[in-house]
Amino acid sequence: MQTSGWTPPLAVYVPEEEQQDIDLEWMKVALDQAEEALAAKEVPVGCVFVKNGKAIAKARNRTNEWRNATLHAELVSLDEILKTHPLPLQDVTLYVTVEPCVMCASALRQVGIGKVFYGAGNERFGGCGSVLDVNDTPSIQSSLSYPAFGGYYRPEAIMLLRRFYLIQNSNAPKPKNKTTRVLKTDILPIKSRTASPIATPDGSRTPLETELS
């Protein structure tokens, strides 16, 4: 039963025409990392952390390689960054191909990340608005909130995931029915929900819904 008065969080989606070239350039770097993950049979998510116009860390998922479920791209990068950069990381921006999960969204908040840009929303585990709004919920008072903006090369991020799951299904001992072996190429538009928009620095708040697999 839902708590009375509870409203689902909303991911922030920036329309393509409002996206800045510089942010798209960095997202391409993150997508390259995701491509590398796909080639290595990892869930294809990649990221890059940027400070003063320079990449200070980039990574991809390594959960299978190191048999460690916490080794999401963001945390792999943070491990490196924390060795050399003092906290908080207020002047650091993260570009990641998929919305950070609840675990990573929380870690990013604890290190005081400045801003996050992501590609596809993560309707299963997203911690920046799709499932929970760990990034800016005021109920977390121990660390600063951060803005997170989605929609940057969203179709490309989704297609990488679909290619991964297609390969996974094809390799399964008992592949699911044939339709799961066909690569879907249609990208559904982002649906809007009727909800009170919350003001953000760079865009309106609308839910970012994707079909990742």
- Does 65 participate in catalysis according to the annotation? no
Catalytic residue among 17, 25, 74, 99: 74
| Nearer Cβ to Zn ion (14/45) | 45
| Nearer Cβ to Zn ion (61/206) | 61
Token pair listed for 139: 């109920």
- Nearest Cα to Cα of residue 109 among 69, 70, 142: 142
| Residue 70: partners with Cβ closer than 8 Å, 6 or more residues away | 63, 103
Minimum Å distance from CB 70 to Zn ion? 8
Helix spans in the chain (H): 21-39, 73-84, 102-110, 154-171
Which stretch in 10-18, 68-76, 137-145, 182-190 sits in contact with Zn ion by CB under 5 A?
68-76
Which stretch in 29-37, 65-73, 89-97, 205-213 sits in contact with Zn ion by CB under 5 A?
65-73
Minimum Å distance from CB 103 to Zn ion? 5
- Nearest Cα to Cα of residue 115 among 145, 86, 152: 145
Please tell me the distance from the alpha carbon of residue 148 to that of residue 59, in angstroms, as a whole number.
19
> Of 76, 104, 148, 208, which one interacts with Zn ion (CB under 5 A)?
104
Minimum Å distance from CB 151 to Zn ion? 19
Please tell me the distance from the alpha carbon of residue 164 to that of residue 53, in angstroms, as a whole number.
31
> Of 101, 107, 157, 160, which one interacts with Zn ion (CB under 5 A)?
101
| Nearer Cβ to Zn ion (27/96) | 96
| Nearer Cβ to Zn ion (11/104) | 104
Angle, vertex CA 104, rays to CA 144 and CA 131, nearest 5: 90
The tokens 């990340």 sit on which residue?
Answer: 113
| Nearer Cβ to Zn ion (50/128) | 128
Which stretch in 95-103, 141-149, 175-183, 185-193 sits in contact with Zn ion by CB under 5 A?
95-103
- Nearest Cα to Cα of residue 123 among 45, 58, 212: 212
# chain residues binding Zn ion, by CB under 5 A: 3
Which value, to the nearest 10 degrees, does the dihedral of the CA atoms of residues 121, 151, 32, 101 take? -20
> Of 58, 72, 109, 162, which one interacts with Zn ion (CB under 5 A)?
72
Q: Which residues bind Zn ion (CB under 5 A)?
A: 72, 101, 104
Active-site positions read 74
